[in-house]
Amino acid sequence: MLWTEHSTVDGQSEGTAMKASFARRAALAAAAIGVIASVFTTPASVLAAGVTGVTTGDGSELMGPIAVRRPDMAVKAEGATFTDGDMYYEFRIKNVGSAPAMNVTVETEYSLVSFKTGQEVKAVKSTLKINKIEQGEERVLDIACNASQFDYCSLAILKVTVPPIGIFTISPDPNLDNNTAVIDSHKDGTWDIAYSK
């Protein structure tokens, strides 16, 4: 299987994005220490009631619910090209969330269907691991389906998952509806985007 990747982060090169990412992390760490300190000095009744604008014991102000930063992976099917008997599927994955996506798993599957019987003869599955996809970063994945003279490529699926981190048991990606895309290709070389959000 052929994988090709292209990467940008909101139009910046990866080096520029990395420097900006380090500065953001340092600022977030400082802010997190302040939030933790204010939570421990705020009366439980105030926190439970969701009251805002209250001065805590250390003089800081409780400004409302804490904003949680999470990744949101979006998958889009771009289409397919038919060249010399092979089908090439193009998908885009983008982190549209507010935090980097870590340890991303990209699963692909396509079917080979017999020209003679119209039945599936083989399902080809592959998995790609990506260590990190920054907020705003987009990857283009081209998947090559190599069919023989007796079969053709059909129904390519790409699914992205982000595992829970640390002690959390829920997925850090709050919107799982946009994590899968499907391209349905036909024996005449035409294709349809069957599912893409």
pLDDT in tens, 84-99: 768 899 999 999 988 8
SS (H, E, C) 3-17: CCCCEEECCECHHHH
pLDDT of residue 104 exceeding 50:
yes
pLDDT of 117 reads: 92
CATH 2.60.40.10 location in the chain: 70-195
The answer to whether the beta carbons of residues 60 and 37 sit under 8 Å apart is yes
pLDDT of residue 11 exceeding 60:
no
CA distance 137 to 167: 26
Please state which of the ranges 45-54, 72-81, 114-123, 164-173 shows the lowest mean pLDDT.
45-54
Q: Does domain 70-195 have CATH number 3.30.70.1400?
A: no
Half-sphere exposure (CA, 13 Å, Cβ side) for 8?
5
CA distance 123 to 78: 21
CA distance 108 to 182: 10
Beta bridge partners of 81: 88
pLDDT in tens, 15-32: 444 445 555 555 555 555
CA distance 150 to 190: 17
Q: In what order do the strands lie in the sheet with 137-146?
A: 7-9, 137-146, 86-95, 73-83
pLDDT of 179 reads: 87
pLDDT tier at 120, thresholds 50, 70, 90:
very high
pLDDT of 186 reads: 83
Q: Which of 176, 150, 153 is nearest to 164 (CA)?
A: 176
Q: Which of 72, 49, 75, 71 is nearest to 62 (CA)?
A: 49
pLDDT of 190 reads: 82
**pLDDT cut 70: percent of the chain above it:** 60
CA distance 83 to 2: 14
Using left for φ > 0, alpha for ψ between -120 and 50, and beta otherwise, residue 10 falls in: left
pLDDT of 52 reads: 46
> Stretch 27-48: mean pLDDT, rounded?
46
The answer to whether the beta carbons of residues 131 and 98 sit under 8 Å apart is no
Q: Which 3 state secondary structure label does DSSP give 178?
A: helix
User: Residue 129: CB partners within 8 Å, gap ≥ 6?
Assistant: 103, 104, 105, 106
Beta bridge partners of 93: 75, 139
pTM above 0.85, yes or no: no
pLDDT in tens, 134-155: 999 999 999 999 888 888 888 8
pLDDT of 66 reads: 57
pLDDT in tens, 45-72: 444 444 444 444 443 344 455 556 788 9
